């Protein structure tokens, strides 16, 4: 039986209502063998790393979400000091969000560059958040030579041209429950065109639950419904989607031994 990987979730935000053991048990029952728990701030990163050390199904990513407010400017060694751990397989999520932030966003762009530099120093891939900022995200990735580490365009909602530019820079394109929504026809067309060997699936749990759970609390188990939708969209077997996206994850994050 084929297994799946949830390439992006936030377990600490789920723990408020359900135990980690229950999350993992439900995931296993839906053919999910592994998940990447992604940080949104440095303060919460040690908890995520400890989750990865405790549970083989979990890996960790360390970073500061573009919308997370900080009292002072983030510097590279603040990231690397925490992220220099074998359980940390990526840096992020980081990137740009012009939807939820207003005014002069030069601080956001500078923080994004800091993450890229930290990733290059540690030789770990990046988890990229991009919302209404596709041109600047691609431009900064190019300027900082982020292709040397590559990574994932998390919860992708942009056009096929942006996807191709990211793929050419060694980034995978990850689709969340959004792709299953009835009003996501343009994104579904993008998913049809992105080659499976450059694709991941994710939940972004507890957010963005896929159809038929839209509006409810998301969880890693539900990544199966994203994969099923992709298989129907591309008219290919579910097992093919599961096997290839899992292999893509393993190759990107060097975590074959944990799955």
All structural domains of the chain with their residue ranges? 7-258
The pTM assigned to this predicted structure is: 0.96
Could you check whether the bond before residue 30 is cis, i.e. omega within 30 degrees of 0?
Answer: no
What are the backbone angles phi and psi of residue 249, rounded to the nearest 5°? -65, -50
Tens of pLDDT, residue by residue, the chain (259 residues) = 789 999 999 999 998 789 999 999 999 999 999 999 999 999 999 999 999 999 999 999 999 999 988 888 999 999 999 999 999 999 999 999 998 877 788 999 999 999 999 999 999 999 999 999 999 999 999 999 999 999 999 999 999 999 999 999 999 999 999 999 999 999 999 999 999 999 999 999 999 999 999 999 999 999 999 999 999 999 999 999 999 999 999 999 986 445 5
Note the pLDDT of residue 187.
98
Pick the CATH number of 7-258 from 3.30.420.40, 3.20.20.140, 3.40.50.150, 1.20.120.1200: 3.20.20.140
Strands (E), 185-227: 199-201
Helix (H), strand (E) at residue 200: strand 199-201
CA-wise closest residue to 33 among 24, 43, 20, 42? 24
What are the backbone angles phi and psi of residue 108, rounded to the nearest 5°? -70, -40
Note the pLDDT of residue 99.
87
Note the pLDDT of residue 257.
47
Site of tokens 């359980």? 87
């Amino acid at each position: 039986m084929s297994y799946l990987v949830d390439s992006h979730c936030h377990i600490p935000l789920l723990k408020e209502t359900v135990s980690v053991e229950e999350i993992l048990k439900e995931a296993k029952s839906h053919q999910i063998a592994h998940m990447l728990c992604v940080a949104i701030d440095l303060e919460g990163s040690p908890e995520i790393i400890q989750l990865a050390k405790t549970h083989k199904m979990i890996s960790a990513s360390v970073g500061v979400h573009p919308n997370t407010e900080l009292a002072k400017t983030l510097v590279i060694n603040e990231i690397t000091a925490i992220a220099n751990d074998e359980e940390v397989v990526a840096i992020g999520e980081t990137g740009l969000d012009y939807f939820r932030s207003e005014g002069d966003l030069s601080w956001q762009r500078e923080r994004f560059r800091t993450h890229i530099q930290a990733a290059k120093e540690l030789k770990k891939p990046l988890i990229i958040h991009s919302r209404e900022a596709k041109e600047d995200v691609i431009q900064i990735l190019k300027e900082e030579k982020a292709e040397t580490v590559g990574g994932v365009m998390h919860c992708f909602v942009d056009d096929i041209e942006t996807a191709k530019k990211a793929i050419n820079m060694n980034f995978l394109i990850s689709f969340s429950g959004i792709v299953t929504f009835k009003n996501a026809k343009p994104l579904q067309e993008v998913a049809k065109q992105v080659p499976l060997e450059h694709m991941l699936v994710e939940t972004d749990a507890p957010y963005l639950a896929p159809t038929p759970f839209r509006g409810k609390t998301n969880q890693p188990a539900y990544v199966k419904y994203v994969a099923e939708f992709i298989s129907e969209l591309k008219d290919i077997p579910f097992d093919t989607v599961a096997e290839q996206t899992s292999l893509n994850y393993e190759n990107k994050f060097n975590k074959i031994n944990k799955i």
